[in-house]
Amino acid sequence: MSRRIMHIDLDAFFVSVEQALNPELKGKPVVVGGRPDRRGVVASASYEARQFGLYAGMPLATASRLCPQATFIEGSFPKYRQASQRFMAILADFSPFLEPVSLDEAYLDVTGFESIYGSIHQMATKIKQRIKDELGLCASVGIASCKVVAKVASELSKPDGLLEVAGGKERSFLAPLPVAKLPGVGKKTEQLLKGVGINTVGELSKMPLSALKSYFGASGELLHRYAKGIDDREVEPPSAAKSISRETTFGKDTRDRSLLKATLRYLGERVGADLRQRGKQAGCVTLKLRYADFTTITRRHTLSQTSDSDQTIFDTGVKLLKRELSLGKQPVRLIGIGVSNLAEPGRQLDMLDASAQRQEQLNKAIDRIRNKYGFTAIQTGRTLLLKDIFPESEGGYTLHTPSLSR
């Protein structure tokens, strides 16, 4: 079945949040970014202000010269973050295949959802309506068979738009547009293309791949595909985190190496379990230490081979820890361990290695038991030491929630 992807982007986001909170501002030229007599640039301009030539990134002084009657607002980020969370929550009600791209922009994979909503178009109308009713904001929606075309469609439909590109029409839809409308074409690329007489996406799509590669290197190939309306990128829900880490603050600053190692083992095992649950392998291990005076360091080590094994995470962490402690700094206040450069497990050479295979089976078995009976059902030697030190298990130190960064 051909895919259906939706790109949803809120109109004049920061400004619209301000207008929803203060309806007097509706229908007027409004700028969020700061006072016009201060240095700084426009972050968001209402569509009324855009009629005077205002745009994001323009110096505030220029904006106030072009449109002196505009209301200038400093803006406050927490409001926008909250609106963003509510926006994403609404989208998540419609499809679990949600990929937030920025505060006010997301992709939804809605393939097959026509059976629920009658049509994807009707689904989009419902989404727009809920955003309007619950947040007082306007969203523009593009629907197409791939991300790049959906994004161009939503952009083109603004403000308060809804544009669907039928399957098979991707290339002809993009063809008449100026190259600058194509994601990935920035100012520099646009200039270069203009210089060789390429103005529209259609013209770009007809350029020989070899020419594009010679101008733009590897990204030339991507441009070539996008220009034809071809884009295989999946909608990736945020669980595809780029790193996983755990850290903990000690009740009392410590230099005790056994305690530091035991804690590292415990945190490393939780990171490992999380990694395996996500079906990922890590390419890099990072140690974090905060000393008594709050100086914080991170030390990373790139693994020669990606891994999801507790032992590898721990061994690497300990190596980094030893090196750091040998510098004889102050007592440690916080310790953390993380993994990054996450990748799908590939076919690995050392899978043939019996000990690696055993280790993997062991990790899997431990995870199975822990999933069934809870994390403390199995403790390895080192984490048992923690139990002796903190009979209340986690009482002596604060366990932070895992930090997932994308």
Contact positions vs Ca ion (CB under 5 A): 9-10, 13, 104
Q: Which of residues 93-122 bind ligand DCP (CB under 6 A)?
A: 104
Q: Which helix (H) or strand (E) holds 207?
A: none
Sequence-ordered list of residues with C-beta below 8 angstroms from that of 307, at least 6 positions apart, any chain: 281, 282, 313
Binding test (CB under 6 A) with ligand DCP, winner from 19, 44, 64, 306: 44
Sheet holding 30-32: strands in order across?
44-45, 30-32, 71-73
Contact 330, 298 (CB under 8 A): no
Q: Which two tokens stand for residue 38?
A: 């201060």
Q: Which is nearer to ligand DCP, 87 or 113 (CB)?
A: 87
DSSP state of 138: -
Interface region with ligand DCP, contact rule CB under 6 A, candidates 12-20, 357-365, 368-376, 384-392: 12-20
Q: Which does 158 bind (CB under 5 to 8 A by kind): ligand DCP, Ca ion, none?
A: ligand DCP
Is residue 12 within the footprint of ligand DCP (CB under 6 A)? yes
Q: Which of 105, 170, 269, 360 is catalytic?
A: 105
Is residue 385 within the footprint of ligand DCP (CB under 6 A)? no
Q: Which is nearer to ligand DCP, 44 or 306 (CB)?
A: 44
Binding test (CB under 6 A) with ligand DCP, winner from 56, 58, 175, 222: 56
Q: Min. distance of Cβ 222 from ligand DCP in angstroms? A: 21
Q: Which does 94 bind (CB under 5 to 8 A by kind): Ca ion, ligand DCP, none?
A: none
DSSP H helices, 42-186, are: 47-50, 60-66, 77-94, 114-117, 120-135, 147-157, 170-174
Q: Which is nearer to ligand DCP, 148 or 259 (CB)?
A: 148
DSSP SS3 for 282? strand
Q: Min. distance of Cβ 35 from ligand DCP in angstroms? A: 16
Q: Which is nearer to Ca ion, 155 or 315 (CB)?
A: 155
Is residue 78 within the footprint of ligand DCP (CB under 6 A)? no
Q: Which is nearer to ligand DCP, 10 or 335 (CB)?
A: 10
DSSP SS3 for 20? helix
Counting residues that bind ligand DCP (by CB under 6 A) gives 12
Sign of the alpha-carbon torsion through 237, 240, 242, 244: positive
Binding test (CB under 6 A) with ligand DCP, winner from 5, 31, 43, 335: 43
Is residue 18 within the footprint of ligand DCP (CB under 6 A)? no
Contact 162, 140 (CB under 8 A): yes
Interface region with ligand DCP, contact rule CB under 6 A, candidates 10-18, 184-192, 215-223, 292-300: 10-18
Binding test (CB under 6 A) with ligand DCP, winner from 158, 299, 301, 370: 158
Q: Which is nearer to ligand DCP, 56 or 284 (CB)?
A: 56
Sequence-ordered list of residues with C-beta below 8 angstroms from that of 148, at least 6 positions apart, any chain: 182, 183, 226, 229, 231, 233
Q: Min. distance of Cβ 80 from ligand DCP in angstroms? A: 7
CA distance 158 to 11: 7
Q: Which is nearer to ligand DCP, 43 or 366 (CB)?
A: 43
Q: Which does 48 bind (CB under 5 to 8 A by kind): Ca ion, ligand DCP, none?
A: none
Is residue 156 within the footprint of ligand DCP (CB under 6 A)? no
Q: Which two tokens stand for residue 109?
A: 């994979």
Q: Min. distance of Cβ 313 from ligand DCP in angstroms? A: 37
Q: Which two tokens stand for residue 17?
A: 């949040």
Is residue 164 within the footprint of ligand DCP (CB under 6 A)? no
Answer yes or no: 105 catalytic.
Answer: yes
* Secondary structure string (H, E, C) spanning 173-203: HHCCCEHHHCCCCCHHHHHHHHHCCCCEHHH
DSSP SS3 for 132? helix
Pick from 118, 83, 77, 121: nearest CA to 104: 83
Q: Which is nearer to ligand DCP, 59 or 202 (CB)?
A: 59
Q: Could you identify the residue written with the tokens 């839809």? A: 173
Q: Which of residues 316-375 bind ligand DCP (CB under 6 A)?
A: none
Cis peptide before 159 (omega within 30 of 0): yes
CA dihedral 395, 247, 100, 222 (to 10 degrees): -160
Binding test (CB under 6 A) with ligand DCP, winner from 5, 6, 13, 235: 13
Instruction: Tell me phi and psi for residue 249, to 5 degrees.
Output: -105, 130
Residues of this chain that bind ligand DCP (CB under 6 A): 9-14, 43-44, 56-57, 104, 158
> Which residues are known to be catalytic?
105
